[in-house]
Structure 1
């Protein structure tokens, strides 16, 4: 078994391009469209400046001043989710997740690189959506049924860590 992170492959579609842009803005400090274009090119996604500009506008991406004074692109939850509070406190995104998830998660279990989350009937899709909005490099994705969410992590340790994290978030209120 390899220790490397699985390579995420994307189809050549508009939705995949928008997803790649969102992930780039979440995981990198992007200060210009040319820098973003290069990040996308490194992933095999060729995009013109005009298309990139339209995509950023459609995603409501804005340039925001970071704590260190750098001006970088951010979108919705990407602007606040990774930012930690004072003294390593929980992020604003995690506080919101805690409020939402506290009444919707009934159990959490890690099994190898998977996390199984149980919810009341009908809530799994919503819970998966909330989890998907929180940027996490160690989570490949979620699958939701009626009352069960399966979170696929990059390895066993990440799954256990994510299970503990979800349980802690759901237990706060």
Structure 2
């Protein structure tokens, strides 16, 4: 009997694949889609080139020249984007694509927004929210199927709950 169980097992879901791609780009220097595909395959995630290309676009990965001259994929927001009371259409569009199938309900409770997700999706949803420059949002806490979005005050919580509901309802 041989033990070939990988150290980290991921479900075969889109959310898990996107998370694995983000983690790979944050922890390694990835210079090509074929290299990224191999990294994912080593984790038991098989992906076509077309899907990988769409995934990279969705998480806003771009090729960037590193200090040593190497061109590699990088993640991150554009520094010129600043927080605003009403996040721009591009932010809303990205969040809609990522979150529309993952948010099942939204409610404001004092300075918190409580977001329910399918089991196992809360941490991914929290991560997506945390990466956006959203005025009045201080951060998130995620469990298995619930995210608490901590807002600066009760009014922001009400505004952000309605905004998030509107964003995930588009499409």
Using structure 2 for the length normalisation, give the TM-score: 0.51
Corresponding position of 1:21: none
Matched with 1:140 is 138
Over the residues paired in the alignment, what is the CA RMSD in angstroms?
Answer: 2.9
Per-residue CA distance 1:17-75 (angstroms, 9 max, x = gap): xxxxxxxxxxxxxxxxxxxxxxxxxxxxxxxxxxxxxxxxxxx7x9xxxxxxxxxxxx8
- How has the CA–CA distance of structure 1 residues 172 and 82 changed in structure 2, closer, same or farther, with 3 Å as cutoff? farther
Residues 112, 154 of structure 2: 8 Å contact kept: yes
Tell me how far apart the structure 2 counterparts of residues 108 and 118 of structure 1 sit (CA, whole Å). Answer: 6
Match of 2:92 among 73, 76, 94: 94
In the TM superposition, structure 1's runs of 4+ consecutive aligned residues that sit over 3 Å from their partners are: 78-84
| Offset at residue 79 of structure 1 (A) | 4.3
Query: Could you list the runs of 5+ residues in structure 1 that have no partner in the other structure?
Result: 1-59, 63-74
Residues 126 and 142, structure 2, Cα contact 8 Å, conserved in 1: yes
Choose which of 143, 150, 153 in structure 1 pairs with 2:151: 153
Per the alignment, residue 121 of structure 2 pairs with 123
Compared CA separation, residues 105 and 80, structure 1 to 2 (3 A): farther
Aligned length: 99
Three-state SS of the structure 2 residue aligned to 1:76 is coil
Q: 1:67 is matched with which residue?
A: none
From the superposition, tell whether residues 80 and 147 of structure 1 become closer, same or farther in structure 2 (CA, over 3 Å): farther
| Bigger helix share | 1
Unaligned stretches of 5+ residues in structure 2: 1-63, 67-74
